[in-house]
């Protein structure tokens, strides 16, 4: 890669074209969770559609239901949601609901989209982005969520 000098006029033009982030991002929260796939499978078997619609969005239900090992995918999403709740520091308190945390399939894996009351709480802390690491084995689903944000919302937590 070659570098070249720019004059004052070019520099001003470049500054107007490129948004320069002035605040550094940092980790504002993190959570991990492990769940037995059989436990989710039993719970969904006992409580069926009522539990599914309480825990998961329509998109999540459709995505998991089309999978060969749907219980593993429901468990994986449960673990991501639980880790997300831990990352914002509330659990189920302060009006936070399971469906405030929505997992979406991407080419890179699952992403976490935060909605509702959970998003308000996360924004109070300076929330900018959620990073997800998730996987499952034959018996367990694992997830880690790291929240990235600005220092403006962090108050010594």
Domains of the chain: 23-153 (3.90.470.20)
Q: Tell me: the pLDDT tens digits for 6-15?
A: 444 554 554 4
Work out the burial of residue 72: count CB atoms within 10 Å of its CB; fewer than 13 is exposed, 13-18 middle, 19 or more buried: buried
Q: Where are the alpha helices (DSSP H) in 66-131?
A: 70-88, 116-124
- CA 29 – CA 76 distance, rounded (Å): 20
30-82 tens-digit pLDDT: 999 999 999 999 999 999 899 999 999 999 999 999 999 999 999 999 999 99
Rounded to 5°, the CA angle 17-28-79 comes to 110
Answer for the pair 75, 35: CB distance below 8 angstroms, yes or no.
yes
The string of pLDDT tens digits covering residues 111-149 is 999 999 999 999 998 999 999 999 999 999 999 999 999
Q: Taking Cα atoms as reference points, which of 145, 144, 151, 92 lies closest to residue 116? A: 92
pLDDT tens sequence across 71-126: 999 999 999 999 999 999 987 777 899 999 999 999 989 999 999 999 999 999 89
Query: For residue 75, how many C-alpha atoms fall within 13 Å in the half-sphere facing its CB?
Result: 22
Angle at the Cα of 78 from the Cα atoms of 75 and 81, rounded to 5 degrees: 155
Residues 114, 127 contacting (CB under 8 angstroms): yes
pLDDT score recorded for residue 31 = 96
Indicate whether this model's pTM tops 0.85. no
| Tokens standing for residue 101 | 């945390």
């Amino acid at each position: 890669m070659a570098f070249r000098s720019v004059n004052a006029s070019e520099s001003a033009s470049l500054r107007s074209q490129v948004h320069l982030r002035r605040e550094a991002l940092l980790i504002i929260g993190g959570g991990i969770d492990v769940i037995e796939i059989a436990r989710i499978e039993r719970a969904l078997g006992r409580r069926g559609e009522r539990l599914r619609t309480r825990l998961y969005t329509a998109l999540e239900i459709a995505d998991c239901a089309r999978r060969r090992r749907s219980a593993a995918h429901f468990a994986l999403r449960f673990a991501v949601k639980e880790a997300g709740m831990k990352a914002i520091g509330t659990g189920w308190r302060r009006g936070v609901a399971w469906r405030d945390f929505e997992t979406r399939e991407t080419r890179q894996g699952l992403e976490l989209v935060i909605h509702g009351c959970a998003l308000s709480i996360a924004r109070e802390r300076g929330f900018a982005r959620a990073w997800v690491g998730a996987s499952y084995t034959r018996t367990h689903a694992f997830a880690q969520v790291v929240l990235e944000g600005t220092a403006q919302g962090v108050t010594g937590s």
